[in-house]
């Protein structure tokens, strides 16, 4: 598996994003929240993902963009945790919910916890 995050892996469709927020399920590990929905999409990779840092949580755009870059990097290097354990296509939205800027290592640790919670939840639900 390549450690890339290409254009076809990013969640850009407004319809899919609206569908995700309307019907998606949530898994939280502070400060990350993962909203996911099992739905077919046109990508060859099993997951399409979007990243968000709300303006009401982090006021300055510079800080929001930096946090999003860190989350994308953590996802890019650790997406194999999810890709190797699912068979169905999913769409994800990773949302950062803390006011303070995170350290990269803490963010990576929280992402791994969210992944474990997500995988255990889909196995519970019998979706995998």
How far is Cα 57 from Cα 96, in angstroms, rounded to an integer?
Answer: 9
Q: Please give the distance of CA 63 from its chain centroid, rounded to a whole number.
A: 19
Tens of pLDDT, residue by residue over 49-96, are 999 999 999 999 999 999 999 999 999 999 999 989 998 999 999 999
Average pLDDT over residues 99-118: 96
How far is Cα 11 from Cα 17, in angstroms, rounded to an integer?
Answer: 7
Cβ atoms of 99 and 56 within 8 Å: the answer is no
Give the architecture (CATH level 2) of 7-120: 2-Layer Sandwich (3.30)
Instruction: Give the per-residue pLDDT at 58.
Output: 96
Domain map (residue ranges) of the chain: 7-120
Q: Where do we find the tokens 């898994």?
A: 27
Instruction: Give the per-residue pLDDT at 39.
Output: 93
Task: Compute the mean pLDDT over every residue in the chain, rounded to the nearest whole number.
Answer: 93
Beta bridge partners of 49: 10, 92
Q: Where do we find the tokens 């709300």?
A: 54
Predicted TM-score of the model (pTM): 0.91
Calculate the dihedral angle through the C-alpha atoms of 96, 97, 102, 107, rounding to the nearest 10 degrees. Answer: -50
pLDDT band at 127 (very low <50, low <70, confident <90, very high): low
């Amino acid at each position: 598996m390549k450690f890339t995050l290409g254009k076809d892996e990013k969640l850009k469709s407004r319809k899919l994003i609206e569908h995700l927020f309307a019907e998606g399920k949530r898994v939280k590990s502070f400060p990350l929240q993962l909203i996911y929905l099992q739905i077919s999409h046109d990508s060859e990779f099993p997951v399409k993902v979007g990243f968000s840092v709300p303006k009401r949580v982090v006021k300055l755009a510079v800080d929001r963009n930096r946090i999003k870059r860190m989350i994308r990097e953590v996802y890019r290097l650790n997406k194999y945790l999810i890709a190797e354990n699912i068979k169905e296509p999913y769409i994800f939205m990773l949302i950062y919910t803390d006011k303070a800027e995170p350290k990269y290592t803490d963010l990576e640790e929280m992402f791994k916890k969210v992944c474990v919670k997500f995988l255990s939840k889909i196995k519970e639900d019998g979706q995998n």
